[in-house]
Structure 1
Amino acid sequence: MPPRGSQGSCLLCRKTIKKRDAVPHARECLESSGWPRAKKPSFLISVQGHRAASYWLLLIARQECTLTELDSLIRDVWVECCGHLSEFTIQGQRFTRSAECGEIDMEYPLSRVLSTGVKFLYEYDFGSTTVLDLHVVETHPSSPPDSTLCLLARNILPRVPCNTCGSLAEFRLNDDDGESSFHLCRRCVSAPDLDPWCIDVISNSPRDGVCGYEEDAGAAVAWYPPGWTREDLSDPELDAILERIQEG
């Protein structure tokens, strides 16, 4: 079993790395990646859960990338569930997809609003809000080969104990309103008194267990470096267990 918690995976070389080493490791991997050089240096941006720092991402973005595209990546990888509203707050200014009074539309290139060292906020769903902290760590001459931005690294799923026996939990039992959950291991998830249609695989996301959120590997893999597939992001064994439980 891979190490968990503050550790993660480099998505270029697929090695396990520590969170604190993600940026220097990414520099080295980018240098040997063969990726093209941008006309202007790309941004290296870290993303982590607000008060949930064990969930983290590192991405590279061209300067012409827009906030809308960054919003799409965050939605596809971490938060999208019901098409909720979202916004960035950058140096006191709010950016949304449907700008109203006092807001600015997200169709802004990053070069217009970001620079090295800038820290900013992202919020998704203003009912059961998921808040993320973002930081432009530095710039790098490399550029994503097929898009304006790309994931470079992400955390390994934090270890969660089973609420019944204390073993490693891999499933979540949601309550009726979808706002709280109970974690279960492979053995305890088969208990006959559980509603199988309220059980999901635990998601590697700070939105896990909120508003019925489920990971979408097909959407997320579009933001990964070349060579990754949807199958790389899912565990067929867990999917098979869940299917067996729901079939009764």
Structure 2
Amino acid sequence: MPLSLRTPRPVPRHFCPLALALSLLLLAPSIRALPVSDSSGEEELPDAEREPPKYQSLALLIQSESSQLKEELCTKHFVCDDSMESLMENNLDLPRINKEDGCFHKGFKTETCLRKITSSLVGFETYLSYIEETFGSDSQKVESIKHKTKHLAESLMHLINKPNAEAVTAVTQVSQKTKPQSKEVWTQRVTARLILRDFIVLIQKTVRAVRFLGTSDDKKGSTDV
């Protein structure tokens, strides 16, 4: 039986190089819209995703470690928030950031706020030592928080344009505040948790305040808070 050979299909006679060129021109915008890969393999982050300043990252780390320690004191030592009712009328003079300190978004004052934050962070050093002594099993964690807190205070001090002598002394010297005095173990533990709770509040306000740095406008002289 003779083999039948298929003949190749002829190229359509209406094919025209001009039509191909027009098709490529129509596809050009789509081709230009495709993202071009960077030879380095890294994409440039938008402003909102850029790495935050080191002092902001440090403040967030302190906040995280302090919150974790607070939870552990509840689960391991059974000292929880509902155990503080007996100390609602305590005499602890814990550092706090208030509206008049210029650390809130409305009326933010860089110099005033930084001085308040640095002095407050150092003011907690004695109280953090009290927590360290009260919960010996967690002393390493408290020591880590103390070290980071001191470093944060020193870092923020460098941002102050004209640090006064009082602020410099507060950051470079150990706080001389008197530690809480109590011989009862339960009272010591509840006091320590109360200190840690207020310290976390201070750090939370510090985190919010450092985010305003570089975006505030002190030249307006706003006093509203």
Question: Is the structural similarity TM-score above 0.5?
Answer: no
Considering Cα pairs closer than 8 Å and 6+ residues apart, tell me whether 1 or 2 has the greater RCO: 2
The TM tier, using the shorter chain, reads under 0.3
More helix by share: 2
TM-score, normalization: structure 2? Answer: 0.25
More strand by share: 1
> Looking at CA atoms only, which structure, 1 or 2, has the larger radius of gyration?
2
